[in-house]
Amino acid sequence: MGIPRECVTLPAFDRDEACMLLLLFLLCLLGYVLSRFRRGRAGWLCYGVAFGLFLASGCGPLPAWLLTRLQAPYATRPKVAWAARNAIVVLGVGTSRVVATNEVGPTVFAGGRLAEGYALYRECKQTGNDCRLVVSGGDPFRYGVTEAKAYGDVLLGMGVDRSDLMLETRSMNTWQNAQFLQPMLKAYAPQRVVLVTAAVHMRRSQQFFLHFGIDALPVRADYEDARLTWFPNGWNVALTESALHEYVGVLTYYMYNAMGWNAPPSRYGAP
């Protein structure tokens, strides 16, 4: 039996490709090749561009500019108008394994999402309406425990009612988060869907959710900021990588749409 097309197509670049480091490597490689073919000026130009990008990235101005354009629309936490039925969707961001005990739990980057998801859940429950906390994430690192399960255990310990917790455990990336959550949300039929993820990740997440007909209110869990320094540092380079990953992901989505490689947009509409 063949695998359904919608289960294998995705706007790729939804993994951990090192955009900035790859670009610097390619520029240096191009500079070397040009120099070998006696194109010294062009070669040195490539080296210069690579060095300039490294400084702009490591010293902060490049990630600051990239992050501002990505995160600004989500800087202010919106006031949520809770409905009779509500779904608060928290997207996974990985798990960590303790080698000594083989225990698997949420990665350090998941704290903001768990805290924001729980705060929204409590706020919703205080209205007396029906509220479900939906956690989405499979096991991309092959640790034997899905993100949804690891995060769900923490949320249960924080006080979330087990009957209010919904886990989506198959998705390996943001595209599949939206794809596999669609039937779950359709079955629950919430009148309000709230999407919780990092501000830097929100634009791409919203885009994918809308592709599958899920019109979710974005509430960012955390907000990244670059630090302007005189000398390059790894934090700023990591932030550049994070921002470029999102831009390339959005661009790839449009390219795949134009080439007909994505699953067709859903007609489901807002849950």
Q: Where residue 11 falls among pLDDT bands split at 50, 70, 90?
A: very low
Q: What does DSSP say about strands 85-91 and 192-197: parallel, antiparallel, or unpaired?
A: parallel
**Domain containing 108 — which CATH number?**
3.40.50.620
Q: How far apart (Å, rounded) are the C-alpha atoms in residues 57 and 154?
A: 36
Q: Is-above-0.85 flag for pTM? A: yes
Q: Are 150 and 95 spatial neighbours (Cβ–Cβ below 8 Å)? A: yes
CA angle 263, 268, 271 (to 5 degrees): 125
Q: What are phi and psi of 167, to 5 degrees?
A: -120, 130
Residue scoring higher pLDDT (45 or 40): 45
Whether 128 and 147 share a structural domain: yes
Query: If you average pLDDT over residues 214-229, what whole number do you get?
Result: 94
Within this chain, do residues 124 and 64 fall inside the same structural domain, yes or no?
Answer: no
Q: Are 137 and 92 in contact (CB under 8 A)?
A: yes
Q: Are residues 125 and 238 in the same domain?
A: no
Tell me if 204 is assigned to some domain: yes
Residue 142: pLDDT band (50, 70, 90) is very high
User: Same structural domain for residues 42 and 115?
Assistant: no
Q: Is residue 34 located within the same domain as residue 116? A: no
Per-residue confidence at 36, pLDDT binned at 50, 70, 90?
Answer: confident
**Same domain for 23 and 104:** no
Same domain assignment for residues 99 and 23: no
Is the predicted pLDDT of residue 8 greater than 70, yes or no? no
What is the number of alpha carbons within 13 Å of residue 29 lying toward its C-beta?
Answer: 6
Same domain for 243 and 218, yes or no, is no
Q: Which of 15-29, 43-57, 114-128 is modeled with the greatest confidence?
A: 114-128
Per-residue pLDDT, 24: 76
Kindly tell me the sign of the dihedral angle through the C-alpha atoms of 82, 72, 75, 62: positive
Residue 37 lies in a domain: yes
8 in a structural domain: no
**What pLDDT sits at residue 5?**
36
Neighbours of 217 (CB within 10 A): 18
Q: Are strands 217-220 and 165-168 parallel, antiparallel or unpaired?
A: unpaired
| Contacts (Cβ under 8 Å, ≥6 apart) of 139 | 95, 145, 146, 147, 169
Q: Which domain holds residue 195?
A: 76-223
CB 160, CB 133: distance < 8 Å: yes
Phi (first) and psi of residue 104, to 5 degrees: -115, 130
Instruction: Please check whether residue 156 is in contact with residue 165, taking contact to mean a CB–CB distance below 8 angstroms.
Output: yes
97 located within any domain: yes
Quick one: 84 and 145 in the same domain?
yes
166 and 81, same domain (yes or no): yes
Confidence (pLDDT) at 46: 81
Q: Read off the pLDDT of each residue in 49-69 and give the average, rounded to a whole number.
A: 91
Q: Quick one: average pLDDT of 134-140?
A: 96
User: Is the domain of 83 the same as that of 210?
Assistant: yes
Is residue 214 one of the residues assigned to a domain?
Answer: yes
Q: What local confidence, expressed as pLDDT, does residue 268 receive?
A: 55
| 2 within a domain of the structure (yes/no) | no
Per-residue pLDDT averaged across 235-241, rounded?
Answer: 91
Would you say residue 265 lies in a domain? no
Task: Output 51 or 268, whichever has higher pLDDT.
Answer: 51
- Band of residue 38 on the pLDDT scale cut at 50, 70, 90: low
Check residue 4 and give its pLDDT. 36
Q: H or E stretch including 241?
A: helix 234-259
* CA–CA dist 205, 257 (Å, integer): 16
Number of domains in the chain: 2
Percent of the chain scored above 90 by pLDDT?
Answer: 69
Q: Is 262 domain-assigned?
A: no
Tens digits of residue pLDDT in 14-35: 544 567 777 777 878 887 788 8
Same domain, 191 and 104: yes
More confidently predicted of 163 and 9:
163
* pLDDT > 70 fraction of the chain, expressed in percent and rounded: 90
Task: Kindly tell me the burial class for residue 37, based on how many C-beta atoms sit within 10 Å of its own C-beta (0-12, 13-18, 19 or more).
Answer: exposed
